[in-house]
């Protein structure tokens, strides 16, 4: 399989923060109709290129754009001083040359997308269908207690370390446990406390999020044992959302878009024809 090649299409700056759009070079416009536009939103301390494994399995009949967002790896995480995650996501969508037909978002990015979709008054992206991959969705927690704060910080540190391990493996680097710990400590030294505090504040908003306002079709893909979105909390999301499909599997981890990309891509590919986009279900599945 040929590795996907990318090009940086455009870069914009807002309040001193850079937003960038990367596109898959081979993407077509099929026939007389433009190809469905799939926009990819990375998670906390990830990057636009974290979608590379998934893109190897998505149909070539879709146009793919990956966003580089303020909560990317290496950030100083001062971006919340100029807007919450949903606001920054909306600004990134404004940088696209064409609106998305489907947004695929991971983890913290999925949390930001849900908040954007639930906003009122109506905004240009409110009806965009969304695929939420391992979303951060923990509405059953009592978010403003010292106990939850301590537990959330422990979970945050674990997720950052696991994410670093996944990134190193994807880039072909093998490190032992001690070296991984040292590298993770360096990342956490930069990310905490400001990064964690902003992450925590985003989570604290979720229990009051008016999910019932979301009119767009939703797909949730995740693992049965992913603590970022426990089964009971996802059931709350399923009950409150108007149009939602939930796929959970025991072998999917929190970073399943990187570690189990074929399974995630299969769910997204099957979801695309349900959105009544220009191309048929058969085209989507066989491309």
Write out pLDDT tens, residues 237-252: 999 999 999 999 999 9
Going by pLDDT thresholds of 50, 70 and 90, the confidence category of residue 25 is confident
pLDDT value of residue 167: 76
Q: How far is CA 168 from the centre of its chain?
A: 19
pLDDT value of residue 126: 86
pTM of the shown model? 0.88
CB 86 within 8 A of CB 115: yes
Mean pLDDT (the chain, rounded): 86
pLDDT value of residue 280: 42
Closest C-alpha to 264, from 82, 77, 115, 52? 52
Going by pLDDT thresholds of 50, 70 and 90, the confidence category of residue 286 is very low
pLDDT value of residue 94: 95
Strand arrangement, sheet containing 63-68: 6-14, 17-24, 63-68, 37-41, 102-106, 130-133, 218-223, 244-249
pLDDT value of residue 3: 63
CB 275 within 8 A of CB 101: yes
pLDDT value of residue 150: 82
pLDDT, tens digit (0-9, with 9 covering 90-100), for 69-110? 999 998 888 899 999 999 999 999 999 999 999 999 999 999
**Strand stretches in the chain, DSSP E:** 6-14, 17-24, 37-41, 63-68, 102-106, 130-133, 218-223, 244-249
Tokens of 226: 């992913």
Residue with tokens 């954007």: 116
């Amino acid at each position: 399989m040929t590795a996907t090649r990318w090009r940086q299409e455009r870069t914009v700056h807002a309040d001193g923060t850079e937003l960038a759009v990367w596109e898959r070079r081979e993407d077509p416009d099929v026939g007389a109709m433009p190809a469905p536009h799939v926009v990819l939103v990375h998670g906390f301390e990830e990057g636009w290129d974290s979608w590379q494994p998934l893109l190897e399995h998505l149909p070539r009949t879709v146009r793919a754009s990956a966003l580089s967002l303020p909560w990317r790896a290496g950030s100083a995480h001062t971006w919340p001083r100029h807007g919450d995650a949903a606001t920054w996501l909306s600004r990134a969508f404004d940088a696209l040359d064409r609106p998305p037909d489907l947004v695929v978002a991971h983890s913290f990015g999925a949390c930001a997308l849900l908040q954007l979709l639930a906003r009122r008054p109506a905004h240009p992206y409110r009806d965009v269908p969304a695929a939420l991959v391992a979303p951060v969705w923990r509405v059953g927690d009592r978010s403003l207690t010292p106990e939850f704060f301590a537990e959330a910080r422990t979970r945050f540190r674990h997720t950052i370390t696991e994410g670093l391990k996944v990134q190193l493996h994807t880039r072909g680097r093998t490190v032992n446990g001690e070296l991984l710990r040292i590298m993770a400590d360096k990342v956490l030294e930069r990310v905490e406390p400001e990064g964690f505090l902003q992450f925590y504040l985003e989570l604290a908003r979720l229990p009051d999020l008016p999910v019932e306002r979301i009119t767009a079709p939703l797909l949730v893909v995740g693992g049965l044992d992913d603590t970022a979105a426990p089964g009971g909390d996802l059931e709350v999301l399923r009950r409150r959302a108007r149009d939602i499909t939930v796929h959970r599997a025991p072998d999917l981890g929190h970073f399943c878009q990187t570690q189990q990309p074929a399974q995630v891509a299969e769910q997204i590919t099957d979801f695309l024809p349900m959105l009544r986009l220009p191309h048929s279900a058969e085209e989507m599945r066989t491309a």
